[in-house]
Amino acid sequence: MMFNTAQNFTEKHTEEFIKFSINKNVLRFGEFKTKAGRLSPYFFNAGLFNDGISLMKLGEFYAAAISKSGIEFDMLFGPAYKGITLAASIAIAFAAAGRNIPYAYNRKEAKDHGEGGTIVGAPLQGRVLIIDDVISAGTSVRESVKMIKANGAVACGVAIAIDRQEKGLSELSAVQEVMQVNNLPVCAIANLNGLVQYLKNQPDMAQYLQLVQNYRSQYGVAD
Phi-psi region of 165 (alpha: psi -120 to 50; beta: other; left: phi over 0): left
Report the distance separating Cα 145 and Cα 95, nearest Å.
25
**111 counts as catalytic:** yes
Report the distance separating Cα 191 and Cα 208, nearest Å.
16
Say if CB 180 and CB 142 are below 8 A apart: no
Catalytic hit among 33, 111, 146, 200: 111
Q: Which amino acid is at 70?
A: G
- Of the candidates 165, 156, 153, the residue with the CA atom closest to the CA atom of residue 194: 165
**13 counts as catalytic:** no
Output 200-204 pairs: Cβ under 8 A, ≥24 positions apart.
201/15
> Could you tell me the CA-to-CA distances from 164 to 61, 103, 127, 133, 200 in Å, in that order?
17, 26, 26, 11, 17
Q: What was the pLDDT predicted at 150?
A: 95
Q: For each of the domains in the chain, give its residue range(s) and CATH number, in order of start.
A: 11-219 (3.40.50.2020)
Blockwise average pLDDT, block size 10, the chain, 223 residues: 45 90 97 88 95 96 95 97 95 97 87 65 97 88 95 97 89 91 95 95 94 94 76
Say if CB 90 and CB 63 are below 8 A apart: yes
Helix (H) or strand (E) holding 53: helix 52-69
Report the distance separating Cα 8 and Cα 23, nearest Å.
24
Q: What was the pLDDT predicted at 5?
A: 40
Q: What was the pLDDT predicted at 29?
A: 97
Q: What was the pLDDT predicted at 10?
A: 60
Say if CB 159 and CB 69 are below 8 A apart: yes
Span between the terminal Cα atoms of the chain, in Å:
27
> What sign does the CA torsion over 95, 101, 106, 111 have?
positive
pLDDT, tens only, 41-58? 999 999 999 999 999 999
> What sign does the CA torsion over 78, 84, 89, 91 have?
positive
State yes or no: cis peptide before 81, omega within 30 of 0: yes
Q: What was the pLDDT predicted at 1?
A: 43
DSSP class of residue 72?
-
Cα radius of gyration rounded to whole Å, the chain: 17
Neighbours of 21 (CB within 10 A): 25
Q: What was the pLDDT predicted at 7?
A: 44
